[in-house]
Amino acid sequence: MVNLLLKDRVALITGAGRGIGFGIAEMFGRQGAQVVIGELVEERGLEAAEKLNAQGYRASTYPLDVTQTQSCAQVVNQVLEAYGRIDILVNNAGLFILHKSEEIPEDIWRLQVDVMLNGAFFMTQAVAREAMIPQRRGAVVNIASIGGMGGWPMRSAYNAAKAGLIVLTEVLATEWAQYNIRLNCVSPSVTRTDMMDSMIKKGMVTLEKYSNRTPLGRVAEVSEIAEAVLFLASDRASYITGENLRVDGGWVPYGNLQALGFPEEE
């Protein structure tokens, strides 16, 4: 008995060219969705879509800069023209720049808030207005972070944007429940993504520190985040809205008496 959870659903995923976003796209494809990859780097989007199509899934891609409301509107129109509807939106596009808060340049602050908070909002607004509200149906999953739930030194813009995204999700969930639109967050902890691997390579971080801090004793795999997104995007979660699902191996509620102390620099 093969029961595809997202059979023929049109799912738009931002920043899905790699990392968690690609993992979500892959899982959605496997579950029968028409996957649409929104990607800032056009080449990356094309490669990702090709990879999915080669696996027998249905995927297409459009260049998307979520910091430009015109770009958001354009992609939404293109998707609607191509497929007639948008059932699922995953706001996944993100970036992370470590910086001392007292010295963080304005543009670096603004970029992070622009992509992960403003971008997620304008993308969601466009999809809701043009597709989900008229359809009277839709599911949005926002990729937040456990960073959005607390204090991590040198991550002021990232964490503030993610915290904003978590509350934004609650607001829109309560506002648009009347249109049968569900909105939820998934908050991953450190995940083995391309971004993570490149940070490890540059010597910016080691996985060991993160594994040791995690009650489960290891970092997350991309597929584990994607499974949670799939669940919330599917009809299995029909009564879940305004929720922020932690997929963090127990990170946030852990008191951690083996703390390393407060790093001045990382």
Partner 1 sequence: MSFNDKVVVITGAGRGLGYSMARRFGQEGAHVVVAEINPALGQQAAESLRSEGLPATYEPLDVRDPAQSIALVEKLAQGHGHVDVWVNNAGVASIAPAELISLQDWDDSIAVMLSGAFYCSQAVGRQMLAQGFGVIVNIASVSGIQYIEGRVAYSVPKAALIMLTQGLGIEWAKRGVRVVGVAPGVVMTEMVQKSLDEGSGSLDAYQRRTPMRRLGTVEEVAEAVLFLSSEQASYIVGEVMRVDGGWAAYQMF
Active site residues: 158
Residues 62-81 that bind partner 1 (CB under 8 A): none
Closest residue by Cα to residue 7 from 234, 266, 252, 167: 234
* Interaction between residue 204 and partner 1 (CB under 8 A): no
Nearer to partner 1, 19 or 38 (CB): 19
Stretch that binds partner 1, among 30-38, 45-53, 112-120, 213-221 (CB under 8 A): 213-221
- Applying CB under 8 A, among 11, 75, 141, 220 the residue interacting with partner 1 is 220
- Applying CB under 8 A, among 103, 178, 257, 258 the residue interacting with partner 1 is 178
| Per rule CB under 8 A, count of chain residues that contact partner 1 | 34
* Interaction between residue 146 and partner 1 (CB under 8 A): no
CB of 34 to partner 1, least distance (A): 22
* Interaction between residue 238 and partner 1 (CB under 8 A): yes
Nearer to partner 1, 93 or 186 (CB): 186
Nearer to partner 1, 54 or 260 (CB): 260
- How would you write the chain as a 3-class SS string? CCCCCCCCCEEEEECCCCHHHHHHHHHHHHCCCEEEEEECCHHHHHHHHHHHHHCCCEEEEEECCCCCHHHHHHHHHHHHHHHCCCCEEEECCCCCCCCCCCCCCHHHHHHHHHHHHHHHHHHHHHHHHHHHHHHCCEEEEEECCHHHHCCCCCCHHHHHHHHHHHHHHHHHHHHHHHHCEEEEEEEECCECCHHHHHHHHCCCCCHHHHHHHCCCCCCECHHHHHHHHHHHHCHHHCCCCCCEEEECCCCCCCCCCCCCCCCCCC
Q: What are phi and psi of 138, to 5 degrees?
A: 170, 160
* Interaction between residue 4 and partner 1 (CB under 8 A): no
* Interaction between residue 249 and partner 1 (CB under 8 A): yes
* Interaction between residue 173 and partner 1 (CB under 8 A): yes
* Interaction between residue 163 and partner 1 (CB under 8 A): no
CB of 162 to partner 1, least distance (A): 17
CB of 106 to partner 1, least distance (A): 32
Q: Using an 8 Å Cβ cutoff, are 220 and 193 in contact?
A: no
- Applying CB under 8 A, among 68, 70, 101, 174 the residue interacting with partner 1 is 174
Burial class (CB in 10 A: 0-12, 13-18, 19+), 56: exposed
* Interaction between residue 237 and partner 1 (CB under 8 A): yes
Give me the residues that bind partner 1 (CB under 8 A), please: 1, 169-170, 173-174, 177-178, 215-217, 220-221, 224-225, 227-228, 230-231, 236-243, 245-250, 253-254
